[in-house]
Structure 1
Amino acid sequence: MSDTLTVLRAALEHDTARSSDFDLNPDVVLPAGRKLRPAGVLVPIQLVQNVPYVILTKRASHLKHHPGQIAFPGGKQDETDVDVIAAALREAREEIGLPTENTTVLGTLPSHETVTNFCVTPVLAHVKHPFKVVAEPGEVEEVFSVPLDHVTNPNNYSIQSRRWMGHKRSYFTVPFGSYYIWGATARILRGLAERMHA
């Protein structure tokens, strides 16, 4: 794992631009003066049988926003959170039962703007020891892991599109088995992949 952590820390040193849900849609005109709410998501890296994995969640199907989609544990920054890193760690504890003391924060990736008006900061963290996963039933339908090598290989990504609010919207995807990873989650992982291959 030390080699993986070295590579990840080096990747965090590369200077790359912020990303957004609109990266592949240059015709979208964003309103001037829009207010973005700060949020943090955790990108937890855990070693399983000497193979590094990224822990992801499948959002509950009854949620108002992004039901059933693949996501990182995370959410908006609350008033009680010191910063977005604290928000990401708190949300990971609440959503998947990951103890904060079982993580080492490696750094942050550039922020990502979502269609729901959040400015999301991805927080890269090493999960030091195995832990008992406890999915928050109100928000999380499933917790699963994907090999880090899969989501950091640019060749595993494709661009697809669908109609959204009357317009064609293109986005990155990086499917894994039965899991369709797309949208903001795929774009953030794509950014990590770009840094690791810079």
Structure 2
Amino acid sequence: MNPELPTWCEPLLTQVRSARTEDFTRLRTPTSGGRASAVLVLLGEQPEHGPDVLLLQRAATMRNHAGQPAFPGGAADPEDVDPTATALREAQEEVGLDPDSVTVLAQLPRLWIPVSDFVVTPVLGWWHQPHPVHPRATTEVAHVARLSVAELVDPDNRVRVRHPSGWIGPAFQVRGMLVWGFTAGVLATLLDMGGWSRPWHPDRVVDLPSTQLASVAGPDKVDDVAGPLP
């Protein structure tokens, strides 16, 4: 029997049930090929802060994705039976998440990242039994944070980011982190679907910091400038 879901989940789930790739990106996902991968979009709740989402921050010493916030996730292993298995395994390896503490709500549409040729399935989950998490793969993960929906939708925390290539996409400036690329694109869409978004100023455009310019496709981790577009 599934744990009872909080009432705030229902508007999001109603929208997710009929979600299409086009709701997240203008890029059409190839019917074949691509590197199968998955990320875990883990929603939780804290009494003092309300709904939140779990993000990690990549280690600053990584050659790829250095210092970049992201969902737990990565490339599929041969033994993974489906995207859910990939997302939960990666979260366990990266931050010590207990898979049994998660109720899987939905697999979202497959999204293609052209630069890395990842085909990513975001897996939406409800953290029905939260527990302490921490960087387990310390060579890859520097920090783990539960960012509240209230922080993410605060107009003061929302911007758009400009890459030197000319790409411009949604971003969030929260607790000293700049969340951009694939992660920010998925978050922005889900915040809209859940009815959480507040009016903000999309004309606030910031240049991507030079420290993030090396955040290109790595061998097995998902996040990229060419993520879902608004």
Q: TM-score, normalised by structure 1?
A: 0.83
Specify the alignment match of 1:55 in structure 2: 54
Aligned residue in 1 for 2:142: 141
- 1:20-169 equivalences under 5 Å are 20=25, 23=26, 35-49=33-47, 51-114=50-113, 115-135=115-135, 136-151=137-152, 157-163=158-164, 167-169=165-167
Instruction: Name 1:196's counterpart in structure 2.
Output: 194
Equivalent position to 1:176, from 174, 177, 185: 174
Would you say the 8 A contact 1:42–1:74 is kept in 2?
yes
Shift of 1:79: 0.2
- Tell me, in whole angstroms, the C-alpha distance in 2 between the residues paired with 1:101 and 1:126: 11
Query: Residue 226 of structure 2 corresponds to which residue in structure 1?
Result: none
C-alpha distance in structure 2 between counterparts of 1:153 and 1:177, whole Å: 12
The runs of at least 4 aligned residues of structure 1 exceeding 6 Å deviation read none
In 2, the alpha carbon distance for the partners of 1:178 and 1:48 equals: 21
Q: Partner letter of residue 105 of structure 1?
A: V
Note the residue ranges of structure 2 that are not aligned, 5 or more in a row. 197-230
Give 1:34 shift.
9.1
Q: CA deviation at 1:70?
A: 0.4
**What is the aligned length?**
187
8 Å Cα contact 1:112-1:188 kept in structure 2: no
Q: For 2:44 and 2:144, how far apart are their aligned partners in 1?
A: 13
Percent of aligned pairs with the same amino acid: 30
* Aligned-pair CA distance for 1:35: 4.2
Report if aligned partners of 1:105, 1:125 keep a CA contact under 8 Å in 2. yes
